Structure 1
Amino acid sequence: MNDQVKKVVLAYSGGLDTSVILKWLIETYQCEVVAFSADLGQPEPMGDVEQNALRTGAVKAYVEDLKETFVQDYVFPMFRANAIYEGEYLLGTSIARPLIAKRQMEIAQREGADAVSHGATGKGNDQVRFELSYLAIDPQIKIIAPWREWDLDSRTALMAFAQKHGIRVPTTPAKPYSTDGNLLHISYEGGILEDPWQAPTDDMFQLTVSPREAPDTPETIEITFERGNPVALNGEPLSPANMLAALNRLGGKHGIGRVDIVENRFVGMKSRGVYETPGGTILRKAHMAMESITLDREVHHLRDSLVPKYAELIYNGFWFAPERLLLQSMIDDTQQHVAGVVRLQLYKGACTVTGRKSDYSLYSEAHATFEGDVVYSQKDAEGFIRLNALRLRIRKLMQDKQQ
């Protein structure tokens, strides 16, 4: 191993993988390890994370509340684009990685560390997301990825290592699947979920009730937007993190936001994941409704044509890449007048838009009405149709001549 590594900053969650990695780094590299834990609103309590890191051997442990930064500077920009990967995944894990990596690199600089480390496996997307972010910030940083080096090739082996070294971890053989949570979502992968035919059990879900158990009475809410961002819920102004937390509670109460998908990982394999994204599901629905009356048609369609690429960039770990920054600038420019109020009904797993209004609305009842009007001559449509049909008519005439 590289004996020149003196100090490593580890992205430490306190779970099975990173707890074992912390001890492994100390034993393998004979180096100091600084643990960094980001509080992004994950469901599990963070109270013991610092002490567990120090108890396992870290020379210092940072536990930082980054919830507001996470939602304001990462989640909201992504939702201004209505980003969604392969039609279903709202990128809850993907969007958290660049923030963790950025703060981890800042701590590495502060601590004079010459390396950083993470707990992502050699089969997954997170290794790419972390390391692309590290290298975009410091091209010279040394990266230690234990899953690509050690011989602990299964979670069973990790649990045995943890038991041998007296490391406290929450994962047990009874629930060996991997979870990752933050204020936007929680994901479940691996273990019993590796068989795509195997249904997830009801007791696995943490953020949402089953739609079958949701209230029998619909609930109506109103979300106010400014420049594409939600700023008030039912008329009450809320900070970004508090807004998403409130929408999570509402969505969870009504069983909204569960998805079970098989996605295409960047590294080339397919992976089955189960996700809960209650607040994000509501937010995306509301934002799209707000845009429906405030965006020009061609601007809307052009922006939408770029969303798959934008979502793919986030999924693949290119948050700090120039192409993502370019797209973000264009997307944000479209959001200047995405402002107003959207009304939604939440019921039994469904989120339905029931109203939208805006001072910047481009919807004209006078033009759209099926009743009599004096602002639109229906006869004008004849010339419009014939001009658009001209190339089709010419093509057909040529085909008829050749027969």
Structure 2
Amino acid sequence: MAQSAVKKVVLAYSGGLDTSVILKWLQEEYGCEVVTFTADIGQGEELEPARAKAEAAGVKEIYIDDLREEFVRDFVYPMFRANAVYEGEYLLGTSIARPLIAKRLIEIAAETGADAISHGATGKGNDQVRFELGAYALNPEIKIIAPWREWDLLSREKLMAYAAKHGIGVEQKREGNKSPYSMDANLLHISYEGYDLEDPWTQPGDAMWRWSVSPEQAPDQATEIELTFERGDITAIDGKAMSPAEVLAELNRIGGANGIGRADIVENRYVGMKSRGCYETPGGTIMLKAHRAIESLTLDREAAHLKDELMPRYASLVYNGYWFAPERRMLQAAIDESQQVVNGVVRLKLYKGNVSVLGRRSETNSLFDESIATFEEDAGAYDQTDATGFIRLNSLRLRVAGRKRG
């Protein structure tokens, strides 16, 4: 990219080593004005220090936005209506946060008159794809600067040397908070990659996990909760109405205390390589189990089966960064239509890493008819002799083929 073509850039900025170096590098290499954007999506860290660091670097326009409610309401909840799971295990915690950040980067670029955005994703990962596909979908003319694909600062040692040379303060974590892992957190999950996890045979140490106790150390007494659903979304816990972000935060707390939500996965990245990562998604694990339970009671059989057929495609779209693509929007419209009847209450038991369904009810939308399903006499609600013709018709092609083989 012609560096002279960029006058102002919006940087997705955390205030950590990578983005602090990127901020200075953009000023030096592109000679442009930098706007910083820091998103609070529930990572549980104090974000105001990022403001002080940006100010010290000469940044005049600094955005620190609380996006927690928008994140859960407009991104996490729609995804969970689809029961989305990537490759059978990954609840897409990092994937679903990227389109929101891309959206806000583009909005801030428009507000500030910036002609470019920048991010700290590396050239090996999925996040670069997610950020940039989202950005281009929302503003096809935006310029994107991805320093990791341009510079030669490809190690922590080189980044530290650059920071020292340019007087960039890098805060050292307190001894008790040090972690060798590359970590990413938001209200839906926390992920761990790198260090000894790069060997898929190596078991992560128990000290690595931040949000959950091990199932062995979880309480011996089970925890029971009731979740209220309206149109496929959880609106209350134990009868107490909560906002989407409050629901997820509380389920994280309860689930983590019961050892729920740990996953150790080798996944296929969109860029072509396999990657091993560990994830804690206590609230999401509970949400998925409960959502499928209320759907089992309220969704028509064929609608439910069609949703299950579409889900892997939907999950791949989210994982690969196509949140704003027309095919994801089309699938979402169908999924959301199906959720109009997904109303009711699910009762769950949380115990030592497990989530069990104890009951489910829907006063208005249950399709369960006890008079038909009963194993006792049904007073003519279901004529069992009808099954004879049903079976003969469905077996016709099998009988014809059997005669040919005979």
TM-score range, shorter chain: over 0.9
Q: CA deviation at 1:105?
A: 0.8
> Could you tell me which residue of structure 2 aligns to residue 131 of structure 1?
132
Percent of aligned pairs with the same amino acid: 63
The whole-number CA distance in structure 2 between the counterparts of 1:246 and 1:178 is 25
Q: CA deviation at 1:227?
A: 0.4
The whole-number CA distance in structure 2 between the counterparts of 1:169 and 1:144 is 25
Does structure 1 retain, via aligned residues, the 8 Å contact 2:20–2:168? no
Per-residue CA deviation, residues 326-375 of structure 1 (Å, 9 max, x unaligned), is 00000000000100000000010111111000021001111111122221
Per-residue CA deviation, residues 219-254 of structure 1 (Å, 9 max, x unaligned), is 000000000000000000000110111101001111
Does structure 1 retain, via aligned residues, the 8 Å contact 2:34–2:59? yes
> Could you tell me which residue of structure 2 aligns to residue 392 of structure 1?
398
Q: CA deviation at 1:126?
A: 0.4
Secondary structure, aligned partner of 1:208: coil
> Could you tell me which residue of structure 2 aligns to residue 238 of structure 1?
242
> Could you tell me which residue of structure 2 aligns to residue 145 of structure 1?
146
Which consecutive segments of 4 or more residues in structure 1 shift more than 6 A? Answer: 171-174
Does structure 2 retain, via aligned residues, the 8 Å contact 1:52–1:168? no
> Could you tell me which residue of structure 1 aligns to residue 269 of structure 2?
265
Per-residue CA deviation, residues 164-203 of structure 1 (Å, 9 max, x unaligned), is 4333245799633211110011111122211111221212
Alpha-carbon distance change, 114 to 170 in structure 1, aligned in 2, over 3 angstroms: farther
Q: CA deviation at 1:4?
A: 2.5
The whole-number CA distance in structure 2 between the counterparts of 1:162 and 1:264 is 34
Of 358, 361, 364 in structure 1, the residue corresponding to residue 362 of structure 2 is 358
The whole-number CA distance in structure 1 between the counterparts of 2:293 and 2:282 is 17
Does structure 1 retain, via aligned residues, the 8 Å contact 2:21–2:168? no
Of 357, 381, 389 in structure 2, the residue corresponding to residue 383 of structure 1 is 389
Alpha-carbon distance change, 3 to 171 in structure 1, aligned in 2, over 3 angstroms: farther
Residue pairs, 1:4-403, within 5 angstroms: 4-164=5-165, 165-169=167-171, 175-359=179-363, 360-374=365-379, 375-400=381-406
After the TM superposition, which of the residue ranges 375-384 and 386-395 deviates more from structure 2? 375-384
Tell me which amino acid in the other structure corresponds to 2:377: G
Tell me which amino acid in the other structure corresponds to 2:393: L
Number of equivalenced pairs:
400
Secondary structure, aligned partner of 2:5: coil
Q: CA deviation at 1:316?
A: 0.6
Tell me which amino acid in the other structure corresponds to 2:397: R
Tell me which amino acid in the other structure corresponds to 2:102: A
Alpha-carbon distance change, 171 to 121 in structure 1, aligned in 2, over 3 angstroms: farther
Alpha-carbon distance change, 170 to 304 in structure 1, aligned in 2, over 3 angstroms: farther
Q: Mark the runs of 5 or more structure 2 residues left unpaired by the alignment.
A: none
After the TM superposition, which of the residue ranges 269-278 and 383-392 deviates more from structure 2? 383-392
Tell me which amino acid in the other structure corresponds to 2:110: Q
TM-score w.r.t. the length of structure 2 is 0.95
The whole-number CA distance in structure 1 between the counterparts of 2:172 and 2:276 is 22
Does structure 2 retain, via aligned residues, the 8 Å contact 1:220–1:346? yes
Q: Mark the runs of 5 or more structure 1 residues left unpaired by the alignment.
A: none
The whole-number CA distance in structure 1 between the counterparts of 2:198 and 2:14 is 23
The whole-number CA distance in structure 2 between the counterparts of 1:99 and 1:57 is 27
Does structure 2 retain, via aligned residues, the 8 Å contact 1:16–1:171? no
Alpha-carbon distance change, 177 to 160 in structure 1, aligned in 2, over 3 angstroms: farther
Secondary structure, aligned partner of 2:88: coil
Secondary structure, aligned partner of 2:4: coil
Secondary structure, aligned partner of 1:95: helix
The whole-number CA distance in structure 1 between the counterparts of 2:96 and 2:173 is 24
Tell me which amino acid in the other structure corresponds to 2:303: V
Tell me which amino acid in the other structure corresponds to 1:107: I
Per-residue CA deviation, residues 22-48 of structure 1 (Å, 9 max, x unaligned), is 121112111111110110000222231
Alpha-carbon distance change, 170 to 135 in structure 1, aligned in 2, over 3 angstroms: farther
Per-residue CA deviation, residues 280-321 of structure 1 (Å, 9 max, x unaligned), is 110111000000000000011111110000110011111111
Secondary structure, aligned partner of 1:135: helix
The whole-number CA distance in structure 2 between the counterparts of 1:140 and 1:95 is 24
For the aligned residues, what is the CA RMSD? 1.5
The whole-number CA distance in structure 2 between the counterparts of 1:182 and 1:170 is 22
After the TM superposition, which of the residue ranges 255-264 and 11-20 deviates more from structure 2? 11-20
Tell me which amino acid in the other structure corresponds to 1:319: W
After the TM superposition, which of the residue ranges 276-285 and 19-28 deviates more from structure 2? 19-28
Tell me which amino acid in the other structure corresponds to 2:82: A
After the TM superposition, which of the residue ranges 349-358 and 191-200 deviates more from structure 2? 191-200
Tell me which amino acid in the other structure corresponds to 2:321: G
